[in-house]
Chain A
Amino acid sequence: MAHTRRQFLKTAVGAAAASGALSFPMVSRAQQKKLTVWWNRGYYKEEDEAMLKIADEFRKGKNVDLDISFTIQEDLLKKIHSAMAARRGPDVAFCFYNDWEVMPKYAWEGKLVETTDVINELKPRYIEKFLPVAHVYDNVAKKRAYYGVPIECQTMHIHYWRDLVKDAGMNDDPAKIPMDWNGYWDFWRKAQEALRKKDPTKYGKVYGLGMTESSSATDTIYNFEMALLSFGGTIFSEDGKVVADQGANRDAIVKTLKFFADMFNSGYVPPDTLNWSDGDNNANFHSKSIVMTPNPSVSIPAHQFFNNPDNYFNKSATIEWPDGPDGKKPTYMVAVKTILIPKDSTNKDVPLAKDFIKFVLEPNRFGEYIKGANGRWFPAFKDVAADPFFAKGQAGKGGAVDPHLPTVTRIYLERTTRVFEHYKNPANSQIYAENVWGKAMSRTNVDKWPADKAADEAIGRIKTIVAQWR
């Protein structure tokens, strides 16, 4: 304790000298900004490591006390829900479930920070068709604006075993598979029949179509939405009203449900599919119980790439969803993962939070992060998407060509896409949580209801949910 002025001066000079000598000045420690970030644990070590590196660079470069924690999505969702309820959240939250279950709901409740400025700044870089996911309605401010920052995507694609198709005596070249609606689905039925006839002991229980129709899987929702698009229907209007009950839409829904019911009853889909969880079509594909399966993430080839590259490069391939009954190329449902900024955050430093997000999304950094995911995600930015990794995929031994990622990239870049309808109406998160369509399929497949009855029940439930949403 300095008692005399001289002593005080001595102490002050000493402190200044000391702080100058150290690389962590006492003075700036007091002013150092803090930021709390909750990030979704990736599927791959490389993803997390890349993110840690980015965090470190931010910490040092901007002199910020950054606290970043990684959590798996189910736990992170719980954390976010409780943080929002307790009004004590992180400054930045990135959870894989943000786009479906967090952003629309909490933006509606006025609990998220508007990010329109960030979006506008990054807009030249964005693949704009992915942006609507964050354009949600704030029921407190009574306006629709951007309340999140989209960063990466997943979509639907179909995987199949080339060797099984070859064994069935059919042409396994991806380019040669018929893409017209009827020809496509017929192809897999023929494959099943040929295989079973050829070798009953080995292929006696193989199924041609691994189509998930379970009310316990989100895969079902993807499948339904894709088919609904093929039949030309939609559930919500642009401003969030339910239009599923209107003429053309209702017809499309009925046709879609009938399509799935017929497929299930045809004997070319494993009866088990009614109870598949999200991982079951994967497991069935890996054990070669099914010839093909639609899957809304790159998890199947990724598993192969790490466990059995021969399967990845030579024995399986990825192709597109078929052209619709109307002959047009399909529209793809894309789920866009989004970062958000809660209003009730610990540090309440919105500019810093936005800075961090922009820092993460700088092309080289973000490119490294997303490539660490081994193709599981596709970037929402043109410059990062232009990286040859996405066009060419993984490099194989002896110059083997990647039969998966290039198809996926083509879907994102060249096809018409649609983001999920949660941005139109946040009640969609409950509709999905209840798996209304999976239940409708149970009605048609198990209870043997006619498709229009099941459709009407589902539409009724949707309207009730929307009406009760507050």
Chain B
Amino acid sequence: MNRHNWTTTALRAAILAIVTAWTIFPIYYMVTLALTPWNDLFRPVYVVHHPTLDNFKFVLLQESPFVKYFWRWLGNSLLVSTAVMLAVLAVAALGSYALARIRFGLGRYVSGMTLFTYIIPASFLSIPFFKIMGDYDLLDTYWALIFAMTTFAAPYALWVLWDYAKTIPNEIDESAAIDGAGPVAIFFRMYLPLITPTLIAVGTYAFFFAWNEYLYAVLLLQGEKMVTLPVGMGNFLTSDDSPWNLLMALSVIYSIPPVIFYYIFRRYLTHGLVSGAVQGT
């Protein structure tokens, strides 16, 4: 590895430069468009000639029919994402406790079920899901969406928590049991505090899983005041005259929270999937 130092380094640098450019370009373009005034929209340029923050102003002040309900959409996205986060935390914490600490025979089936849910493409269940929700008159409510998102986000969350929980020695449970604590007490007073850092990471994952969701939101939400941000953005595509600069400004706003959080928590999130699989090899 010490030979060919110069050429390897140069080649490496070139490749990484290309990769960086490729990675950044669509994002750069999005920001560029967000800063482009309406008149310049139809003349592509490499750098914005007259950058303006007007587009952001229009979005935040809801000054275009396309963004009339921006704040409601934002609120809806926040509501749904928070609800999903809490639900996933509950389901995954309980489930991971069962698998990691209780170690029961039927646990095989529970983990198999979890894995199945994780792997099956959510879109394959989307249309039947839509039909079921229609039958139970749950369309255009947040319940349907929250149930759907929780179901699909919980498996990964559970897996990560389970993986983390495996590193906590069993002696801790055992000493607590000997002290007379039942499983519920152990769960609340010992387990939860110990997995808290991972809970935060997993909660963030669930929050943004719901934040990013498009298909189920589009299927299950219909009223224009009910929809979430991504659905509102998708509606731009259905019209003759959509202001793409506003759409890009909206995109920028919509992207900021996930970007920030993913950077903070990235280490936690890949850990679960990798170690689980690596241990298998």
Contacts and interface: CB of A to CB of B under 8 A. Distances in A.
Please determine if A and B sit in direct contact within the complex, based on CB atoms under 8 angstroms apart: yes
14 contacts: A70-B224, A71-B224, A72-B235, A75-B223, A75-B235, A76-B222, A79-B139, A82-B130, A85-B134, A85-B135, A279-B240, A279-B241, A299-B240, A303-B241
A355 interface: no
A268 B131 CA distance: 48
Interface in B93-137: 130-131, 134-135, 137
Interface in B241-256: 241-242
Interface in A319-360: none
Interface in B214-232: 219, 222-224, 227
A88 B137 contact: yes
Given A299-B240, A303-B241, A78 B224 contact: no
Contacts of B240: 278-279, 282-283, 299
Nearest to B65: A45
B61 to A, nearest CB: 16
Interface of B: 42, 130-131, 134-135, 137, 139-140, 219, 222-224, 227, 235, 238-242
Interface string A290-332: 0000000001000100000000000000000000000000000
Given A79-B140, A83-B134, A86-B134, A71 B223 contact: yes
Nearest to A41: B224
Contact of B222 (A71, A85, A282, A299): A71
Nearest to A299: B240
A416 interface: no
Given A71-B222, A71-B224, A75-B222, A282 B134 contact: no
A11 interface: no
Contact of A82 (B139, B235, B241, B242): B139
A74 interface: yes
A71 B231 CA distance: 14
Contacts of B242: 279
Contacts of A70: 224
Contacts of A278: 240
Top 9 closest pairs, chain A to chain B, by CB:
A279-B240, A86-B134, A82-B134, A79-B222, A282-B240, A75-B222, A86-B135, A74-B238, A82-B139
Interface residues of A, number: 22
B154 to A, nearest CB: 26
Q: Which secondary structure dominates where chain A touches chain B? A: helix
A35 B240 CA distance: 33
Nearest to B135: A86
Contacts, number: 51
B187 to A, nearest CB: 40
Nearest to B239: A279
A364 interface: no
A287 interface: yes
Given A71-B223, A86-B139, 6 more contacts: A78-B222, A85-B134, A86-B131, A283-B42, A299-B241, A303-B241
B138 to A, nearest CB: 10
A62 to B, nearest CB: 25
Nearest to A289: B42
Contacts of A72: 224, 235, 238
Q: Which of B130, B223, B241 is the most central at the interface, judged by chain A CB atoms within 10 Å of its CB?
A: B241
Interface string A271-294: 000000011001100010000000
Nearest to A303: B241
Contacts of B139: 79, 82, 86
Contacts of A82: 130-131, 134, 139
Contacts of A76: 222
A287 B42 contact: yes
Interface in A429-449: none
A70 B223 CA distance: 8
A130 to B, nearest CB: 25
Nearest to B137: A88
A171 interface: no
A283 B223 CA distance: 28
Interface in A60-88: 69-72, 74-76, 78-79, 82-83, 85-86, 88
A86 B241 CA distance: 34
Q: Which of B130, B135, B239 is the most central at the interface, judged by chain A CB atoms within 10 Å of its CB?
A: B239
B224 A282 contact: no
Nearest to A86: B134
B236 to A, nearest CB: 11
A234 B219 CA distance: 37
A85 B132 CA distance: 10
Interface in A235-293: 278-279, 282-283, 287
A303 B242 CA distance: 12
A442 B278 CA distance: 50
Contacts of B222: 71, 75-76, 78-79
Interface string A363-384: 0000000000000000000000
Contacts of B235: 72, 74-75
Given A278-B240, A299-B240, A303-B241, A85 B224 contact: no
B223 A85 contact: no
Contacts of B130: 82
Q: Which of A41, A76, A83, A86 is the most central at the interface, judged by chain B CB atoms within 10 Å of its CB?
A: A86
Interface in A98-129: none
